[in-house]
Amino acid sequence: MRTGDEYKEALVKMKPNVIIGGENVGRDDERLQGVIKTISMTFDRADDPEFRDLLSAQSDIVNKEVNRFTHIHQSVEDLLAKQEVTRKLCQQSAGCIFRCMGIDAMNALSIITHRTESMTGRPYHQRFLEYLKFWQENNIVGTCAQTDPKGNRALRPHQQADPDLYLRVVEHRDDGIVVRGAKNHITAAAVAEEIIIVPTRFLTPEEDQYAVAFAVPGDWEGVKLVTRASNFTRQHFECAIGDVGDVENFIIFDDVFVPNDRIFLGGLEGEHVFGGWAATLFALYHRHSYTGCKPATTDLMTGLCALVSEYNGIEDKKHVQSKLAELISVSELVYGTGIAAAYKATKDDSGTMIPDPIFCNVARRHAGKNYYHELETLADLSGGLPATLPLEADFFGEEVGHLLQKYIKRKEDVDATDIYKLFRGISDFLCSSIGGIMAVAGVHGGGSPQMEDIAILKQYDVDTRKAMAKRLAGISDS
């Protein structure tokens, strides 16, 4: 299978449409390397016995083994493997591996294109299968651009003062379409080979032009990637977190031509219905992916909380034990509910497995509601030092280094440097730019909390519960 180095080489050949601080940069820019390194892990770990079975899947499309992050889920086992490999890899990368967005979008499209083709006769599914072959043959790194800028939140797409505040088709041609608009908050777009675009919400009959789903290479003509890149760094010691970064993008589609073979929903008459389904299905797969990555983040916070309490000499205290139990209850409930979502999955007519929507949404909701509480627990157990930690240059410096090493001591048998390293790691979660981004992502990634409530309430059978209550209370329907 393709290696991480081959992925990096492909990136370097892309046109420099990544804009950071007013400058167009190539994908070899230093600021992008943290995320590239993390993504490379999803290629290179495929040979590692611990990951081999989880990271590979048998494809009926190309009749060979492919990387899990290019695979369309065919079974409960596929959904479970994706969830497990996401958790395991995220434990190693401080919380994100940047490959779920692309494959979540591909799974959603496998269903939507099939449904649209069956109902309209338009050849979207045939195109999708060809595109899927290209993904699987080349182990493509893709991202998903769903979130439109949205303008005035109280207005629908067609009611906005500027109709471009939701991405839309502005021209239909024989050989394709021209799209205009933007997508914001798009993770990893600057290091993705392909960007998949899907609508952001349910659409009305006036909004067919917004019912558009397609894929373009990341450096396609007219695509501008305005990028915010952040990295954890270390000068004086090696550690895994020092290799980790984050890349978020505001993508502008400046009248972009999309050829027919890359259009999976073309903004044609009556397609608003399929646009809404595409939005919901991507969100659903993405929320299932969160049942893998969020437990991994909580695992890391649990570890940091336990370790700092151990170094401080208070690990066995009652309130510490209770806080650790609370953290574990969050990670394992979210993970367990993701497992339930896989076991309760249904098989779509396209052959793709759809995880249970109630389980996916309640799991994502539970994870989101708890993220800031987890940070609060970490801040509580760590004290103030993550926020006030002296700089590495001083801690390892000549003048005050030995004094700082003396006064940072906690339990006698714990080395001062290890204490410094631990607080530096905690500081990354609590006080850094990436830590802040991860926290907002913990709330909003995959949809704001309200969207999960809506998804739950729309699909949950509350009426049956009301009937149960009536029966118990002796209330008759008449």
Residue numbers at the binding site for ligand FAD (CB under 6 A): 101, 143-147, 150, 153-154, 185-187, 248, 437, 440-441, 444-448, 450
Please identify, using beta-carbon distances, which residue of 214 and 423 lies nearer to ligand FAD.
214
Phi and psi at residue 147, in whole multiples of 5°? -80, 115
Instruction: Answer whether 102's CB lies under 8 Å from 194's CB.
Output: yes
Please identify, using beta-carbon distances, which residue of 450 and 464 lies nearer to ligand FAD.
450
- Give the containing element (helix H, strand E) for 377: helix 357-382
- Report the distance separating Cα 245 and Cα 17, nearest Å: 20
Q: At what angle do helices 33-44 and 76-93 cross, to 10 degrees?
A: 140
Please identify, using beta-carbon distances, which residue of 145 and 324 lies nearer to ligand FAD.
145
Please identify, using beta-carbon distances, which residue of 104 and 243 lies nearer to ligand FAD.
104
Least Å distance, CB 361 to ligand FAD, is 13
SS3 category, 153? coil
- Report the distance separating Cα 107 and Cα 109, nearest Å: 5
Instruction: Answer whether 76's CB lies under 8 Å from 343's CB.
Output: yes
Least Å distance, CB 316 to ligand FAD, is 37
Token look-up 């760590």 returns: 382
Q: Nearest CA to 245 among 38, 6, 20, 22?
A: 38
How would DSSP label each residue in 67-83? EGGGPPP-SHHHHHHHH
Least Å distance, CB 449 to ligand FAD, is 7
Sign of the CA dihedral 163, 455, 184, 122?
A: negative
Q: Nearest CA to 288 among 326, 335, 241?
A: 335
Least Å distance, CB 96 to ligand FAD, is 9
Least Å distance, CB 452 to ligand FAD, is 10
Least Å distance, CB 198 to ligand FAD, is 8
| Positions of E strands within 373-422 | none
- Give the containing element (helix H, strand E) for 261: none
Please identify, using beta-carbon distances, which residue of 48 and 453 lies nearer to ligand FAD.
453
Please identify, using beta-carbon distances, which residue of 82 and 185 lies nearer to ligand FAD.
185
Least Å distance, CB 462 to ligand FAD, is 21
Please identify, using beta-carbon distances, which residue of 301 and 385 lies nearer to ligand FAD.
301
Least Å distance, CB 45 to ligand FAD, is 22
Least Å distance, CB 444 to ligand FAD, is 4
Radius of gyration for the alpha carbons in the chain, expressed in angstroms and rounded: 24
Instruction: Answer whether 128's CB lies under 8 Å from 180's CB.
Output: no
Please identify, using beta-carbon distances, which residue of 190 and 334 lies nearer to ligand FAD.
190
Sign of the CA dihedral 145, 146, 152, 157?
A: positive
- Report the distance separating Cα 292 and Cα 133, nearest Å: 26
- For 152, other C-beta atoms within 10 Å of its C-beta total 11
- Report the distance separating Cα 169 and Cα 157, nearest Å: 13
Please identify, using beta-carbon distances, which residue of 360 and 422 lies nearer to ligand FAD.
360
Q: Nearest CA to 44 among 97, 9, 5?
A: 5
Please identify, using beta-carbon distances, which residue of 272 and 364 lies nearer to ligand FAD.
364
- Report the distance separating Cα 123 and Cα 116, nearest Å: 8
- Report the distance separating Cα 145 and Cα 51, nearest Å: 28
Please identify, using beta-carbon distances, which residue of 234 and 444 lies nearer to ligand FAD.
444
Which amino acid does the sequence have at 237?
Answer: F
- For 458, other C-beta atoms within 10 Å of its C-beta total 10
DSSP one-letter code for 123: T
Least Å distance, CB 161 to ligand FAD, is 16
Least Å distance, CB 246 to ligand FAD, is 8
Least Å distance, CB 155 to ligand FAD, is 8
Please identify, using beta-carbon distances, which residue of 26 and 151 lies nearer to ligand FAD.
151
